[in-house]
Amino acid sequence: MKVEWRTLPTVLTEEEMLDKAFSRAKKAADRVEDRDRVFRTRKQLTRMVQTAADVLSTSLTETVKVWPSLDQSPEFDVAMIEACVGTDAYRHHLSILDWGAVQINKIATQNARKITRTAQIPLMHDARKEAYGRMSSIMGRVGASLTWLGESRETLKRLPHLDPLQPIIVVCGAPNVGKSAFIGALSTGTMEVNHYPFTTKQLHVGHFLHRRLAHQMLDTPGLLDRPMEDRNAIEMQAIAALEHVGSIALFLIDESASCGTPLEEQLHLLEEVRHLLPGTRLLEVTSKADLLEPRPEGWSTTKEAEAAWRDAGRQGLPELPLLLDDEGRPTVSAVEDVGLEALRLHLVRLCAEGRSNDALSLPDGWHRSDLEA
């Protein structure tokens, strides 16, 4: 299931729900006609109580319904919810809303009965007033949960938007090494700008298609770009979420160190990332190939092979010569667009390998149609 966190509707506050309920109830009462004063009053007041309760309980249950159930959410989303707002709190506040809806309906039944069972108009009014008072007090207890959900919605709609059924490439590396530029250069179509709710940095999510499979690329600013000791608990949980999603992780190294982080420190970070994402295949890539001195030997070979592949209409999955640096690492220039096509095809192969391993681990008789595209 693909959860659209960003399209969750606004959560009404306690006051907004009460205003809506009582004004609808009043309108409903105004529509009642009966020449007999006792009958008219009885109908008006029962209708007020029932309409108010319906509006309140429906608003509460509808809110619960549109919020994704954690049991059916992808692991990444659950881990992100845990990191950002807490899954226990999430479940708790939604269950309070369900509880409130039940209580409000009970109050309506009890007080409507009081109204119908008396012939005395003042007692009917008392029962209506009592119903409103009790509903307001239930709403008072639900109010904090509505506020919590309203605030969480603001947080969750900033989450990156990923399809867990398609390959995901987690792009990491020290600040300024060119992560965003890399994702932008490999993306077809528009790159999304998003946030991890706990960093102020922009994160980019891009994708490219290969045989109808969207290979998603996820940026990690402020997450996998600093030493372990500076990370807080929330960030560690978010990193755990990355461990769940990544088909592969790509670690960008800026050898020119124009990014501001010395090479040695970047390699130290690489070891930390390897340790943090133990189940994820990690590919090292050197960024900013155009800044390497001298330029990588294979520069023109790769560049020509990529141009030929593009001209031929990008058919199949050939092994284009990867552009390599002196260390033998694949390298790319996002600025001059060299090495990117060759690396893209390499990434497609690595993701496919990971996926066929997944498929092999499925029980007998299971069928993964997405692998046959």
Ligand X SMILES: Nc1nc2c(ncn2[C@@H]2O[C@H](COP(=O)(O)OP(=O)(O)OP(=O)(O)O)[C@@H](O)[C@H]2O)c(=O)[nH]1
Give the per-residue contact string, 193-222, with Mg ion (x = CB under 5 A; - = no). Answer: ----------------------------x-
Contact of residue 291 among ligand X, Mg ion, none (CB under 5-8 Å per partner type): ligand X
Environment class of 133 (CB within 10 Å of its CB; exposed 0-12, middle 13-18, buried 19+): exposed
Only one of the segments 26-34, 62-70, 262-270, 288-296 lies at the binding site for ligand X (rule: CB under 6 A); that segment is 288-296
* CA angle (143, 146, 19) in 5-degree steps: 65
Q: Which does 147 bind (CB under 5 to 8 A by kind): ligand X, Mg ion, none?
A: none
The region of 37-45, 57-65, 286-294, 310-318 touching ligand X under the rule CB under 6 A is 286-294
Q: How far is the CB of 146 from ligand X (least distance, A)?
A: 36
Minimal distance, residue 197 CB to ligand X, in Å: 16
Query: CB-wise, 17 or 334, nearer to ligand X?
Result: 334
Map the footprint of ligand X across residues 223-262, applying CB under 6 A.
225
Smallest gap from residue 175 Cβ to ligand X (A): 4
The answer to whether 45 touches 29, Cβ cutoff 8 Å, is yes
The two tokens of residue 202 are: 């922009």
Looking at the Cβ atoms of 193 and 362, the one nearer to Mg ion is 193
Site string for Mg ion, 287-326 (x = CB under 5 A): ----------------------------------------
Tell me the closest approach of the beta carbon of residue 299 to ligand X, in angstroms: 13
Shortest CB 226 distance to ligand X, Å: 10
Tell me the site size for Mg ion, rule CB under 5 A.
3
Query: What pairing do the DSSP bridges indicate for beta strands 248-253 and 213-219?
Result: unpaired
> Is the C-alpha dihedral spanning 312, 315, 321, 324 positive or negative?
positive
What is the CB neighbour count within 10 angstroms for residue 63?
25
Distance CA 249, CA 224 (A): 11
Q: Which of residues 345-364 bind Mg ion (CB under 5 A)?
A: none
CB 169 within 8 A of CB 157: no
| Binding test (CB under 5 A) with Mg ion, winner from 50, 111, 180, 220 | 180
Interface segment toward Mg ion; rule CB under 5 A; list 61-69, 109-117, 174-182, 319-327 = 174-182
Q: Could you say whether residue 187 binds ligand X (CB under 6 A)?
A: no
Binding site for ligand X (CB under 6 A): 175-181, 201, 221, 225, 287-288, 290-291, 333-335
Binding site for Mg ion (CB under 5 A): 179-180, 221
